[in-house]
Each structure stands twice: as C-alpha cells, then as structure tokens.
Structure 1
Amino acid sequence: MNPIDGVLLPELDSPVRDPHLPRALGWLSLALGASAVAAPGPLARLTGIDDSPAAGTVIPALGARELGHGLGLVAGRRPSGWAWTRVAGDAMDLSLLGWAMTDRSGERRRRLALTTAVVAGITALDVLAALSAGRARRTRDRTIRIDMAVTVNRTPAEAYRYWRDMENLPRFMSHVEAIRTIDLRRSHWTVRGPAGRHVEWDAEIVDDQPNRSIAWRSLPGTPVPNAGRVRFVPAPGERGTEVRVQLGYVPPAGAVGRAVAKVFGEEPEQQVRDDLRRFKQVLETGDVVRSDSSPDGISVRQQVMQRPAQPLPNGFRR
C-alpha cells in the first residue's frame, strides 16, 4: 500500500459512512455461517423455519455459502465483488423466506416475518457496502500518486520550519496561486489548473511531527480530493536534508485531464519535480533562479507568454 493511502483514501472514500463496513459484514457472515453449519436445527426454530429434513440440508448449505462470503470480505481483497455476492445470496434468502411465509401461521409466521425484516435490512447494508466499495475502487484507480525527493543544504529543522508555514508554499509551487492560513491546522488553497481554470479548497494538517514530517489532506467536498506527506530526513554524510514528497490526488477530469495537462507541459510528476527544485533554491539562495532563456518556466503555456528577444536601443552599450 502506498504510504499516503492511510491519509488519502478515507477522504476519497467519503461516500462510505463506515469505511470498515464490508469487513464488518464479513464478520457477520462468518458468525451466521458458523451458526447455520453447527446448529441448523435451533437456528431453524429461532427464525421460524421448520426443522424438517429439507431444512436440515438447506440451512447448512446456506451457512457454507455465508462462510465463503465472510472469508472473502474479511480478507479485504476485492470487497466490491464479495459484497455483490452477498447481495445475490440475500436475494436468494429473501426468496426462500417469502416462499416459506406462504405455509406458516401463528408464532412461526411472526418469527419468520421478523427474520425476513432482518434479512431485508442486512440486504440494504450489503448493497450500500457493494456500491461504496466499487466507488472507492474506481477512485483508487483514478488517483494519481507521486513520490519524489530532493536534497537541500539545510538542516531538517530549517526545511520543516519553512514548509510548515503554509503561506510560503506559493513561493516555490508554481501551480499554487495563494494559500491563506485559517488556523493552526487548516488553510485555504487557490490553485491554477489546466486551461487557465482556478480551483479552491480547504485543507487540514492531519499529522505534524516537528522537524520530521507533515501530512495533510483536503477537507470533504473539495473538487480535487488530495492528500500528501512531506518528510525531512538527514541526508547521508551530513549533506543536508532529503525532502521527500508523497502526493496523491484525483484530477477533475481523470485520465483525460492528465493527458491534456501533458500537452501543455504540465505533467504532474514534472510539476512536483520543478517545485522541489525551486524549494531547494529558495532555501539555499533565498530566491528562485530562472534562466535567461526561460525566465518563466518550461511549460508551453508559460513559454507562449514570453516575448522574443528585442534589439538593444540605439546608443546602448554594455
């Protein structure tokens, strides 16, 4: 798992009220399956189903099915697929309960009705878990993850202190137009996107280890869900500090948006690489060094705005 997933994915999976719901349903399946296999008779009487020989055969079979579903969900692999198998099993159970209801009366019918209501409620949770897990998987597939580092000739404390002041970030992050500090942990970001668009969101620091690392993530509702962590590690041989950035975000237009950004020279990996280079320059020299040939950067959008060289005015000499 990517090191930032623990910070990023809970935010990206916000439609899931409980990100552990599929696993919880897996444990429920294991409990129900074990009961059905180990004690089919008492379970049949408790739920209003008769303890006939047919029920004694069907209930353990359904229990074995539940054990399979439970193991798949608890293992945590492909929770969406396993959740949908539970939904299919629920549909089968509801059909069997409906068929049994036609031949019951009195106390058994009341128990069977209660069992049907419980299974219907579990079915609703299974559908929610399946939809949420599928949405989370699609989000993970779309998420762009970046992991890059640069070595700066400064101590971890100096690098951390500069980065921790969020209002410093626009000095070296070319795509960040402004950051306004709200309080000690929250800030408001304004970022330039492709095609001249502006995107804004609020972010919060979720883990702050002085002189070691800072982790942040966007708050719910942002148009560009994102999160990341920057680490400040002493470089070998007392050569300064390795600053490592691990970033993840979901672009507004997914893969299409990324392809358009490539055309305009704004590949995300290149952006982060350039930002770290500028961070190094700011810390070591106090300013960003730009070459005479490309004073405004290397992206096509920026170079188009640069004017060609002009002849010197008459009479001007070096």
Structure 2
Amino acid sequence: MNRLVGAKDTPENRAVQRWLGGAREIAAGIGIETRRGTTGWLWARVAGDALDLTLLSLVLADPRRRPDERRRATAATAAVLGVTAADITAALRLSRGAVRETRGRGTGDMAEIEAKAMITVNRPIGEVFRFWHDLENLPQFMAHLQSVRSLGGGRSRWRAKAPVGMEIEWEAEITGEEIDEFIAWRSVPSATVQNSGEVRFRPAPGGRGTEIRVLLHYRPPAGKLGSAVAKLFGEEPGQQVRDDLRRFKQVMETGEVVRSEASPEGTRTRRLIAQRPAQPLPA
C-alpha cells in the first residue's frame, strides 16, 4: 500500500498504514454497520480522510520522491478527495436529520418536508410495538401533540397546540401495519395538515431490545395557518423527531420522561409524564 501511494515502504510507514489507516477504517465500518451513533462514525471517517490527505501532502512535498512516486501520490490524493466529499455529504445529511424541501406538485410552491430518525429502546419488540400501536399514547412523548383520539376503523383525530394561540386538528388513517414490524399512516385528503409517515420495528443487534426507525412527511398549508404549522413542527423537523424518540425511549425504559416545552409566550416549563400501560392489540 505504501508503494501504491508513492511512499517509502519502511517499517515505520507500515505501522502507520496498519494503525492509522487499516484499524481506523475497520472500526468506522463496524460502527456504521451496527447503526449505533452512525452520524458520529461518519464524522470520524471525515476526520480520518483529513489525516490521510495530510499524510499524502507530506509525500507530495518530499523533494526526494521520484516522478513515478509523485504520480502515484497525486492519484491517491485525488481518490481520497473524492471519498472525503462523499463522507462529508453523508455526514451532513444525517446530521441535519435528512430534512429536505421539494417543490409541491399541483399545489403551488408549498414545501414538502421529510424527517427521519432512529433509536434503540431496551425493551422487547412486542411491548414497544403495542405501546406505539395505541395512538392515544403518542402525546406522552411527541412534544407537539395535545391529544390523539381513536375514531374506530383505523381512523383517529389528532390535535396540536400551535404558536400564537392557534389549535390545529386533523384526521388520519392507518394505511398499513404488520404486528411487531411496522405501522404506516397518513392524513385523510380533507385534513388541514397533510402528513404521512411510518415507524418500523426490528430486533436490535446483540439482543439490546428494539430498533425503531421513523419516517415523516408533511406539507404545511398556505397562509397564516401554514406559518403556524411550520413553527409547530420546528425549523429542524429531523431534530424534533429525534427528540421525540429520545422521550419515547425514556417512557419505555423508565416509565416517565421530563421534558421542556415552549409556551406561546416563550416561557419554558417542565412536565413529568407517566407511562400508560401498553394495551394489547385488538383481536
């Protein structure tokens, strides 16, 4: 490898390749594939890329390098720059919660927002699924919700308190579910707040409980109501989903969660929310 990148193949350089290069890449790969702290491992890769570029710059700056060694070092630098760009893009995407804005189709210029997040909860998958399946439990950990009321037939009414004294209500319906695997929902066509999402459950690696992945889409309406909805979901929806999942983890693992909420006047309050027992699924 040293010869491939134009460096001298000495015992010292071999040690650098093994420990600063090989061992680092193996650790980052394991961290990313186990999906625990993926964002941090991606940023660690970026830091490793910067280290590689620094070492390659030392090779290129060495006046003792032969022309063929300099060509190999230049090619290696170009390759690492490409990898660095890809790593930075992936790390930024995860750090921002994969939030994106796209042009609305058939509804003017309204933005569609996507947010996603994941977390591992140290509870059995059946227990986690049953708690989430009872939609009336959601306001216990979703900060923007006041209540969710089941209407029967897979439909429910959601109510949220928006900024400037506004309240928002909409109806949603379950569009698909598989016990202990996933729940998908969407707002009904006439709903004020058009949104959809899904939550997936799977056993966490190493018997550590349940891995939960949430994907949320919503399209704010136009006008003042749309502005209130945008503030309700926050400027960083991905971060809000991650915060909701963190509170969900606390509810499932400890039975309660302490959270801070912003009132319309901007003051901060703290509220303790007790866990409701998970209800069994209907037969």
* 1:224 corresponds to which of 165, 174, 193: 193
Verify: 1:243 aligned to 2:204, yes or no. no
* RMSD of aligned residue pairs (Cα, Å): 3.1
- Give the structure with the larger strand fraction: 2
Residue type of the partner of 1:247? L
Q: Which among 115, 121, 139 is matched to residue 146 of structure 1?
A: 115
Q: Gaps spanning 5+ residues in structure 2: where?
A: 1-102, 271-283
Residue 163 of structure 1 corresponds to 132
Q: Specify whether residues 279 and 306 from structure 1 end up closer, same or farther in structure 2 by C-alpha distance, changes over 3 A only.
A: closer
What residue is the counterpart of 2:203 in the other structure? 234
Distance 1:241 1:139 in 2: 41
2:173 to 204, 207, 217: 204
Q: Does residue 190 of the first structure (1) align with residue 159 of the second (2)?
A: yes
Residues 157 and 211, structure 1, Cα contact 8 Å, conserved in 2 = yes
Are positions 1:282 and 2:251 aligned together?
yes
TM superposition outliers: structure 1 runs of 4+ over 4 Å: 137-141, 299-303
Alpha-carbon displacement from aligned partner over 1:192-222 (angstroms, at most 9, x marks no partner) = 2233321111111010100000000011111
Q: Distance in 2 between matches of 1:258 and 1:230?
A: 25
Give the corresponding residue for 2:227: 257
The CA distance in 2 between the partners of 1:279 and 1:261, in whole Å, is 22
Residues in 1 aligned to 2:235 and 2:146: alpha-carbon distance in whole angstroms: 15
Amino acid across the alignment from 1:166: L
- 3-state secondary structure, aligned to 2:123: coil
Corresponding residue for residue 304 of structure 1: 267
The 2-side partners of 1:147 and 1:210 are apart by: 21
Matches of 2:240 and 2:218 in 1, distance apart?
Answer: 14
Q: Judging by fraction of residues, say which structure has more helix.
A: 1
| Change over 3 Å in CA distance of 1:224–1:211 after alignment to 2 | same
Report how many residues are paired.
167
CA contact (8 A) 2:110 2:221 kept: no
Relative to structure 1, the CA distance from residue 306 to residue 172 in structure 2 (aligned partners, 3 Å threshold; closer, same or farther) is closer
Q: Partners of 1:261 and 1:144 in 2: how far apart?
A: 13
Contact 1:139 1:250 survives alignment (8 Å): no
Q: 1:208 to 1:139 in 2, by over 3 A?
A: farther
Report the CA distance between 1:267 and its aligned residue: 3.3
Distance 1:214 1:233, change over 3 A: same
In the TM superposition, 1:78-89 aligns within 5 A as: none
Matched-pair contact (CA < 8 Å) for 1:265–1:300: no
Greater C-alpha Rg: 1
> Does structure 2 conserve the Cα–Cα contact (< 8 Å) formed by 1:207 and 1:215?
yes
Spell out, residue by residue over 1:167-200, the C-alpha distance to the aligned partner (whole angstroms, 9 max, x if none): 1111111111011111141111111223332111
Shift in alpha-carbon separation, 1:301–1:236, aligned structure 2, 3 A: farther
Q: Deviations over 1:118-163 (max 9, x none)?
A: xxxxxxxxxxxxxxxx962657971100111111001221111000
Amino acid at match of 1:204: E
Report the 3-state secondary structure (helix = DSSP H, G, I; strand = E; otherwise coil) of the residue aligned with 1:196. coil
With over 3 angstroms needed to count, the CA separation of the structure-2 counterparts of 1:141 and 1:238, relative to structure 1, is: farther
Q: 3-state SS of the aligned residue for 2:267?
A: helix
Structure 2 Cα separation of the partners of residues 233 and 269 of structure 1 = 21
Identity of matched residues, %: 48
Distance in 2, Cα, partners of 1:186 & 1:259: 21
Q: Which moved more, 1:193-202 or 1:159-168?
A: 193-202
Structure 1: gaps spanning 5 or more residues: 1-133, 291-295, 308-318
- Which amino acid in 2 is paired with 1:261? K
